[in-house]
Structures are given as C-alpha cells and as structure tokens.
Amino acid sequence: MSKPHIAFLGLGLMGSGMARQLLAKGFPLTVFNRNTEKARPLADEGARVAASPAEAAVQAGIIISMLADDTASRSVWLGDDGALVSAAKGTLCIESGTVTVDWIHELSTAAAERGCEMIDAPVTGSKTQAATGELNFLVGGTAAALERARPVLSAMGRSMVHLGPAGSGALIKLINNFVCGVQIASLAEALAMIERSGLDRTSALEVLTNGAPGSPLVKAVSTRMTTPDFTPNFLLRLMAKDLGYAVAEGSKLSVDLTTAKAALGLFNQGISGGYGEQDIAAVVEPLRITTP
C-alpha cells in the first residue's frame, strides 16, 4: 500500500526530529514552520515546505501538529490560514503537542465539522528520542483512528498506549509531566542543599541516584545540573507551562496539585532568572546564586 501524504506542522526541538523520521521511512512529507529557516534542512532532505498550514494540508491524508501550547496549536489548526481550512474530508488529524484537554475537545469538534477525525497523541521522550524514532505516544481517540495512525506513529516511535477517548492522551501527558517537574524541582533543591552544606557532591549524588530516588529522569538531569550543561532537551519555560496546565486540570477534578504548584514556583523563578530558553536542568541555577 502507498504511504499517505503527511503534513507536519511545527519544527521545534521535537518536531524536527519527528519529521525527519517520517522522511527516513519514506512518507511523502510537507512541512510548515513559522520560522522558515528551521524548515530548510528538511527541504534539503526531500520535504516540501509550505507557506502556511492551509497550504501544507491541501494534499495531506494525515496532518500532525507538534507545537508548544494551546495558542500555537490553535493558530495552525483554526487560524485564517489554518490546516482545517483546506483539509479534505476524511483527513486524519493528530495533535502531538502538550496541550489542555479543553483544547483537544474543541479541536476534535472542529475537525468533525470538517468531516475529519482527530486523535490526541502527545509523546514521552525528549529531543534524543524524537531524533532516533524512540518516542512513546499517549493516544486519545477511537480505536479505529488509532489503527489508521499506527503506521505513521510507528515510524516516529517505539510504542503507543491507547488511553481512551479524545483528551485522554492529553490528560495523562500533563499528569506525567507534572510528576517529572516535581522530581526535577526537588532534585534542584536537594543539590542546592548538598552544595551549600559542604558535603562531597559526587558521593552525595551517588546516594540519591543509586538509591530509591534514582529514577532515569533524576539520573539524567543530575548530570546536566552538575556538568553544567543546559543545552535544551526540554525547554525550562515549557515545563512551567505544563505544570500550569496540570494545576488547572487538577482543579477541574477537585484535586489541588500542591506539589505541582511548588514546582511551578521554582520553574517560574528560573524563567525570571533568564533561564527559560535553556534546559529544564537550569532550574537549579537561581538556587545556587541566591544568598542563604
């Protein structure tokens, strides 16, 4: 069977790697990115570059969006030159950004009005997993739509989990990221304590990373914090955004995410300190420079 033509919207840290995997697997690909310079390398590798989301969607059987937040996602789907303006009836729409459940429901309704079907399929994994096709997709939507999407998602990832109806993937992604954010915030505070106390940092971190707290995330981020290396794998400002979204979703379910709120405070402090465009590990830096 011939591969469907894909329109891919958003070529940031994650999207560029995902789009490149689709090209490598032989999918016909049209890409759109607001900053056209980010599309140039993919054009050199065989992708067609569109001037707008609407243009990208014209020939597409499947449209994938990987944008930073609700606002950016809304602009590429529903703007005056948004993808749904020109999407053909029967097109499968996939939202892979970390967005709110309410936006997924709104987008799903808008897609249905165009005769299209939509799934939310955010991912776990970061820049490295996107570049190597090792992402895990968290899917909300119908089982039939997931089966249509499966060959395309398989080209970009190693696994997919069907969580339930539309919005289910978005919700579990926010829960996942708030737990990650809390771990990173607590690690930053722990490292600040270690460094101020005079403990041998290497030995102290070995206790944490090789013991019960030593999740893969804690191990990876502790290395970045101590190198230090804040080359973006996951932008600090986006973790703050995800924590804020998670707090709001928790409130709708009458769950007060107190740990997420505390972590959000630290990440906002990092943004105020000028670290928003750096890796999440940079959340430790304001704790290092603050006078006790």
Catalytic positions, please? Answer: 173
Burial 10-30 (b: 16+ CB within 10 A, else e): bbbbbbbbbbbbbbeeebbbb
Q: Residue 214 gets which letter from DSSP?
A: -
Q: Do 279 and 232 contact (CB within 8 A), yes or no? A: yes
Measured from the Cβ of residue 196, the count of other Cβ atoms closer than 10 Å reads: 11
Burial 265-290 (b: 16+ CB within 10 A, else e): ebbbbbbebebbebbbbbbbbbbeee
Return d(Cα 16, Cα 60) in angstroms, integer: 18
Return d(Cα 8, Cα 29) in angstroms, integer: 7
H or E element at residue 268: helix 258-272
H or E element at residue 9: strand 6-9
